[in-house]
């Protein structure tokens, strides 16, 4: 995978971190998943592998974003959720986290250093999104960004991963995002907002 | 595939079909019959391998691909499982009739048996560990399916907590063995040096010892066994803790063999502690099932005494007596499985008839439930080591082995053996005392409450299961010599012994058990004949003119009072006497006494308090914020990356 594609993937992850509106963040995530899925398609040339990459592309770039868009429409916020930090701080934290992660990652043996660095950066960036953003739906997007990092690693493995593992991971991802979307919906139904900081009051 | 393969395969298929009762909507009785037939076929296959047929299936290996197989030792345990489980399942046909969630209980019974079979037939670490975990979880589910009140939930929680904490030892032991290739190549651990061998043995003792109920890791056992449905109690006490001993035997005598001398002494000490501690606490119990549970600890101790003696003999080069002590332990495993299952099944029948298992509130059941009472009497005599029943045969063999340890050339080992002999003798005497109490309070005397007076005999299915097990107690006691040579052949250094009903052990006196049985039967018959038609005339008991009331009868506490006074320093009983006075007159006096379980108060209590204190400290990082938790995750990830980069891990 080209360095430019990986750079765009990471930049889209930064976009999810910085986007103010949930709808825009979903679009950015969709673009990231689409780009990654198309790049994965170009890396396989066999029939079954192509079919599998196509299924993954449809699930990641179409089905899951559609589910999240539906959830967003069903959980309208009464007003903008107060950000935990300013855009500048978020940008700064995301940059520092990515730099530390990239600097720390040992050689993973994939033969593509850019992909290794990009994958680790996306993984850490996804978790950082969960930390820095308060809306439940954006935190789910953070999980998907982190998962895209893992998928980037998987497609960079020479010869790809076994189909059973790819399908298993895809099933897990679909299940996790479905449950997370259901929880986001229930949280909104209970407290009238997707602001997860309001959940702290539930601690015993 | 050989005929044996087909036999074992058919057994597994029937057992699995019976376990699917809730899914297939089978009738509970039909499903239990399937299970009993399945486990019977498996037991038959195991017995054939034990008595000389070639092993079937795979051998042990260290890889992850699942494999199953039956060798001699597995065959013995499969036969034990079958002898205990088949009558328990027949008993359960009537016991579970009309029970709430009976079908679910039937399914879980079958699944429990499948997990037990899987543990002993597993030939790779992944199958072994997976079935081990299943064996722990399924009885917990069975208990909760039947009852889920707060007391039972707490008992199940303690059971799961302790067996899982202790179970870590099983994982460490088995994974270490697999890592060093010792499952497929016994001797590989010894080649790694004493440190690795010690790690494996200590982990195995903790892990398997916890599940077997060895003191001081036994605390779950007297809580969990009494609250289970009776046929599950029978399987837990009769088989499950023996399957834990199977794991311990595999480690000590095969995978980590040869076990060093210190291991033999530790095993001997744990066995002695369990035997004496178990019987002492059993003596002061009021609840019949709890009393039986403590006797399980005692009998596991007796088995482990035999195993410890075998290690000591082997380390001293005496392979003959090592094999005899090994056979004694295996024989007691079978014998205890049989009489303990019988006693738990009888306890279930009593509870069903009377509605209580408090021995102070039953009484007079032998007349009202002659079949169940008779079977309970035989089981009680067997567990108390009364000749010529099976408990006597294996305890006699264990005692002979320990006497030979005491007579050994080394002073230290001789001392250890002498202490063990004295401990086992005291255990046997106390067990007899305890079952005189249990039989007297439960079966004899007058009923102490209306429910006991109105008790009726158990249905035929329940009776047949108990009678079969009682017959096994007699048969195994009458002809132990038919089995012991095959058990000696399973020892690491097998030794040949002639197969005959009596036990003829080299260098010691023999046990002519068939003649002993014949003599007792003849004497009883003679007395019967001499009695003729004479009958004792019932007359009222002289009670100094007082009206005879149940409160005047012997109580459990009263019967054991002399012993409690002697052992007050150890048992530390608590008493509370409350006197209510009005105008200088005593209106009422109430007495409350209990024997605290010292292992709980002095060992587990402080550990639990420290763990809770640590949890309170750890709770500070539980902020309730999703974002904070994600922060912990990111910090962990970055630290791991840095460590990997620095070469500290990976």
Q: Tell me which residue in A123, A196, A202 faces B627 most closely, judged by beta carbons.
A: A196
Cβ of B627 and A130 within 8 Å?
A: yes
**B169 closest CA partner among B221, B114, B214, B225:** B214
Cβ of B638 and A100 within 8 Å?
A: yes
Q: How many CB pairs under 8 A join A and B?
A: 58
Interface test with A, best of B620, B622, B626, B633 (most A CBs within 10 A): B626
Cβ of B637 and A131 within 8 Å?
A: no
Nearest chain A alpha carbon to B622: A203
What residues in B contact A101, CB-CB < 8 Å? 637-638, 641
Half-sphere exposure of residue A42, counting CA atoms within 13 Å on the CB side? 9
Q: Are residues B613 and B631 in the same domain?
A: yes
Of all residues in chain A, the percent with pLDDT exceeding 70 is: 96
Cβ of B623 and A97 within 8 Å?
A: no
Q: What is the pLDDT of residue B189?
A: 84
The answer as to whether B576 is a domain residue is: yes
Cβ of B630 and A106 within 8 Å?
A: no
Nearest chain A alpha carbon to B645: A106
Q: Are residues B639 and B608 in the same domain?
A: yes
Tokens of B244: 């834990």
The Cα-based distances of A52 to A44, A49, A55, A62, B86 in angstroms read: 10, 5, 5, 15, 50
**A149 closest CA partner among A47, A32, A69, A70:** A32
Nearest chain A alpha carbon to B627: A131
Phi-psi region of B582 (alpha: psi -120 to 50; beta: other; left: phi over 0): beta
| Nearest-neighbour CA in chain A from B630: distance (Å) | 6
Cβ of A97 and B624 within 8 Å?
A: no
Cβ of B634 and A196 within 8 Å?
A: no
Number of domains in chain A: 1
Burial class (CB in 10 A: 0-12, 13-18, 19+), B574: exposed
The answer as to whether B195 is a domain residue is: no
Q: Which H helix or E strand runs over A128?
A: helix A113-132
Residue B270 sits at φ, ψ, to 5 deg, of -65, -40
**Is the bond preceding residue B216 a cis peptide, omega within 30 degrees?**
yes
| Nearest-neighbour CA in chain A from B622: distance (Å) | 9
Q: Tell me which residue in B623, B625, B634 faces A128 most closely, judged by beta carbons.
A: B634
Half-sphere exposure of residue B241, counting CA atoms within 13 Å on the CB side? 39
Q: What is the ipTM of this complex?
A: 0.89
- The SS3 of residue A195 is strand
Interface test with B, best of A131, A141, A142, A143 (most B CBs within 10 A): A131
Q: Are residues B642 and B607 in the same domain?
A: yes
DSSP state string for B342-386: HHHHHHHHHHHHHS--BGGG---HHHHSHHHHHHHHHHHHHHTT-
What residues in A contact B630, CB-CB < 8 Å? 127, 130-131, 139, 142
Cβ of B624 and A120 within 8 Å?
A: no
DSSP state string for B565-605: HHTHHHH--EEEEEEEEETTEEEEEEEEEE---HIIIIIIH
Q: Which H helix or E strand runs over B151?
A: helix B150-179
| Nearest-neighbour CA in chain B from A200: distance (Å) | 5
Q: Is A196 on the interface with B (CB under 8 A)?
A: yes
What residues in B contact A89, CB-CB < 8 Å? none
| Residue B504: CB atoms within 10 Å | 14
**A73 closest CA partner among A172, A156, A188, A167:** A188
The answer as to whether B294 is a domain residue is: no
| Nearest-neighbour CA in chain B from A150: distance (Å) | 14
Quick check: A156 and A115 in contact, CB under 8 A? Answer: yes
Q: Is the pLDDT of residue A203 over 70?
A: no
Quote the CA–CA distance of B239 and B85 in Å, as a whole number: 8
Quick check: A135 and A188 in contact, CB under 8 A? Answer: no
Q: Is A187 on the interface with B (CB under 8 A)?
A: no
B-proximal residues of A, 82-121, CB under 8 Å: 84, 97, 100-101, 104-106, 120
Quote the CA–CA distance of B95 and B99 in Å, as a whole number: 8
Q: Which residues contact B386 (CB under 8 A, 6 or more apart)?
A: B392, B432
Q: Is B616 on the interface with A (CB under 8 A)?
A: no
What residues in B contact A105, CB-CB < 8 Å? 641, 644-645
Residue B616: domain span: 603-646
Cβ of A200 and B650 within 8 Å?
A: no
DSSP character at residue A85: S
pLDDT digit string, tens, across residues A156-190: 887 777 777 778 888 888 898 899 888 888 888 88
Q: What is the pLDDT of residue B82?
A: 96
Q: What is the pLDDT of residue B490?
A: 93
- The SS3 of residue B287 is strand
| Nearest-neighbour CA in chain B from A58: distance (Å) | 28
Q: What is the pLDDT of residue A87?
A: 87
**Long-range contact set of residues B65-72: C-beta below 8 Å, sequence gap at least 24:** B65/B124, B66/B122, B66/B124, B66/B126, B66/B127, B67/B122, B67/B123, B67/B124, B67/B127, B68/B118, B68/B121, B68/B122, B68/B123, B68/B127, B69/B121, B69/B123, B70/B4, B70/B8, B70/B45, B70/B46, B70/B121, B72/B486, B72/B489, B72/B490
Radius of gyration of chain B from its Cα atoms, rounded to whole angstroms: 26
Quick check: B2 and B48 in contact, CB under 8 A? Answer: no
For all residues of chain A together, what is the average pLDDT? 86
Q: Please report which confidence band the pLDDT of residue A193 belongs to, taking 50, 70 and 90 as the band edges.
A: confident
| Nearest-neighbour CA in chain B from A51: distance (Å) | 30
- The SS3 of residue B388 is coil
Q: Are residues B609 and B641 in the same domain?
A: yes
Q: What is the pLDDT of residue A201?
A: 66
Quick check: B21 and B106 in contact, CB under 8 A? Answer: yes
Number of domains in chain B: 2
Q: What is the pLDDT of residue A187?
A: 84
The Cα-based distances of A18 to A78, A117, A182, B480, B489 in angstroms read: 21, 21, 24, 80, 74
Interface test with A, best of B627, B635, B643, B645 (most A CBs within 10 A): B627
Cβ of B627 and A203 within 8 Å?
A: no
Quick check: B359 and B346 in contact, CB under 8 A? Answer: no
| Nearest-neighbour CA in chain A from B640: distance (Å) | 9
Parts of chain B with a pLDDT under 50 = none
The answer as to whether B589 is a domain residue is: yes
| Nearest-neighbour CA in chain B from A114: distance (Å) | 17
The Cα-based distances of B284 to B287, B302, B583, B593 in angstroms read: 9, 20, 37, 11
- The SS3 of residue B87 is helix
Q: Is B509 on the interface with A (CB under 8 A)?
A: no
| Residue B562: CB atoms within 10 Å | 10
The Cα-based distances of A185 to A68, A137, B43, B278, B546 in angstroms read: 10, 9, 55, 56, 76
Quick check: A89 and B599 in contact, CB under 8 A? Answer: no
Angle at B642 between CA B639 and CA B644, to 5 degrees: 110
Cβ of B627 and A101 within 8 Å?
A: no
Half-sphere exposure of residue B464, counting CA atoms within 13 Å on the CB side? 11
Phi-psi region of B508 (alpha: psi -120 to 50; beta: other; left: phi over 0): beta
Interface test with A, best of B630, B632, B638, B639 (most A CBs within 10 A): B630
Q: Any bridge partners for residue B593, and if so which?
A: B575
pLDDT digit string, tens, across residues A42-94: 887 777 778 888 888 899 889 999 999 998 888 887 777 677 788 899 999 99
Residue A13: domain span: 3-202
Cβ of A101 and B633 within 8 Å?
A: no
pTM, two decimal places: 0.81
| Nearest-neighbour CA in chain B from A103: distance (Å) | 9
Q: Report CA dihedral (B498, B499, B503, B507) to the nearest 10 degrees.
A: 10
């Amino acid at each position: 995978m080209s360095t430019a594609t990986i750079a765009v993937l990471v930049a889209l992850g930064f976009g999810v971190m910085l986007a103010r509106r949930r709808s825009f963040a979903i679009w950015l995530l969709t673009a990231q998943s689409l780009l990654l899925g198309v790049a994965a398609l170009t890396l396989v040339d066999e029939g079954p592998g192509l079919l599998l990459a196509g299924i993954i592309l449809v699930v990641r770039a179409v089905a899951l974003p559609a589910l999240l868009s539906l959830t967003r429409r069903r959980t309208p916020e009464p007003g903008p959720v107060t950000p935990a930090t300013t855009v500048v701080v978020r940008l700064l934290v995301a940059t520092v986290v990515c730099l530390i992660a990239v600097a720390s990652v040992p050689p993973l043996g994939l033969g593509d250093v850019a992909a290794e660095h990009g994958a680790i950066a996306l993984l850490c960036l996804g978790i950082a999104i969960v930390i820095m953003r308060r809306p439940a739906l954006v935190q789910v997007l953070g999980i998907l960004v982190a998962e895209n990092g893992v998928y980037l690693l998987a497609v960079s493995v020479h010869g790809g991963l076994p189909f059973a593992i790819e399908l298993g991971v895809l099933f897990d991802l679909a299940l996790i995002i479905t449950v997370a979307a259901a929880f986001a919906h229930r949280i909104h139904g209970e407290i009238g907002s997707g602001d997860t900081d309001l959940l702290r009051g539930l601690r015993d | 595939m050989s005929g044996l393969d087909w036999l074992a395969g058919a057994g597994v298929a029937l057992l699995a079909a019976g376990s699917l009762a809730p899914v297939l909507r089978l009738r509970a009785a039909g499903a239990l019959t399937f299970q009993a037939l399945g486990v019977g076929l498996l037991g038959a296959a195991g017995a054939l391998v034990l008595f000389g047929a070639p092993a079937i299936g795979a051998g042990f290996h260290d890889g992850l691909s699942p494999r199953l197989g039956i060798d001699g030792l597995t065959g013995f345990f499969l036969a034990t499982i079958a002898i205990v489980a088949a009558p328990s399942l027949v008993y359960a046909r009537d016991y579970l009739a009309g029970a709430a969630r009976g079908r679910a209980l039937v399914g879980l019974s079958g699944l429990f048996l499948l997990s037990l079979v899987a543990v002993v037939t597993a030939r790779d670490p992944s199958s072994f560990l997976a079935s081990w975990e299943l064996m722990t979880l399924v009885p917990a589910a069975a208990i909760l399916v039947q009852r889920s009140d707060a007391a039972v939930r707490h008992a199940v929680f303690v059971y799961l907590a302790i067996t899982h904490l202790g179970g870590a030892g099983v994982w460490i032991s088995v994974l270490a063995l697999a890592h060093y290739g010792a499952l497929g190549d016994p001797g590989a651990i010894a080649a790694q040096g004493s440190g690795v061998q010690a790690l494996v043995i200590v982990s195995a003792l903790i892990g398997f010892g916890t599940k077997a109920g060895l003191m001081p890791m036994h605390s779950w056992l007297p809580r969990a066994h009494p609250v289970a449905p009776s046929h599950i109690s029978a399987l837990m006490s009769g088989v499950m803790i023996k399957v834990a001993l199977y794991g311990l035997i595999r480690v000590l005598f095969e995978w980590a063999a040869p076990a060093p001398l210190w291991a033999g002494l530790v095993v001997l000490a744990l066995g002695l502690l369990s035997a004496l501690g178990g019987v002492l606490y059993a003596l002061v119990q009021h609840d019949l099932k709890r009393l039986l549970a403590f006797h399980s600890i005692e009998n596991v101790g007796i088995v482990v005494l035999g195993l410890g003696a075998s290690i000591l003999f082997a380390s001293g080069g005496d392979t003959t007596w090592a094999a005899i002590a090994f056979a004694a332990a295996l024989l007691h495993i079978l014998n205890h499985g049989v009489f303990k299952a019988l006693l738990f099944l009888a306890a279930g029948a009593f509870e069903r008839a009377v509605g209580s298992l408090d021995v102070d509130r039953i009484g007079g059941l032998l007349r009202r439930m002659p079949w169940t009472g008779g079977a309970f009497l035989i089981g009680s005599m067997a567990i108390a080591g009364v000749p010529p029943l099976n408990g006597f045969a294996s305890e006699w063999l264990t005692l002979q082995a320990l006497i030979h340890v005491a007579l050994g050339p080394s002073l230290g080992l001789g001392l250890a053996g002498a202490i063990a002999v004295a401990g086992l003798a005291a255990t046997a005497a106390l067990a007899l005392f305890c079952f005189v109490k249990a039989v007297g309070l439960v079966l004899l005397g007058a009923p102490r409450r209306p429910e006991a007076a109105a008790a009726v005999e158990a249905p035929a299915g329940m009776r047949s299961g108990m009678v079969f097990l009682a017959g096994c107690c007699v048969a195994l006691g009458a002809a132990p010599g038919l089995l012991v040579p095959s058990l000696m052949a399973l020892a690491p250094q097998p030794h040949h012994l002639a197969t005959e009903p009596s036990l003829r052990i080299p260098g010691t006196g023999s046990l002519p058990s068939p003649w002993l049985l014949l003599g007792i039967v003849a004497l009883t018959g003679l007395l019967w004949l001499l009695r003729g038609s004479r009958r004792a005339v019932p007359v009222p008991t002289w009670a100094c003119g007082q009206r005879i009331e149940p409160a005047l009868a012997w109580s459990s506490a009263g019967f054991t009072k002399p012993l409690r006074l002697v052992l007050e320093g150890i048992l530390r009983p608590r008493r509370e006497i409350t006197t209510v006075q009005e105008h200088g007159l005593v209106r009422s006096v109430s007495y409350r006494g209990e024997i605290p379980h010292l292992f709980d108060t002095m060992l587990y209590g402080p550990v639990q308090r420290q763990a809770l204190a640590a949890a309170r400290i750890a709770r500070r990082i539980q902020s309730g914020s999703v974002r904070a938790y994600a922060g912990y995750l990111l910090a962990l990830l970055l630290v791991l990356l840095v460590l990997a980069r620095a070469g500290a891990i990976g």
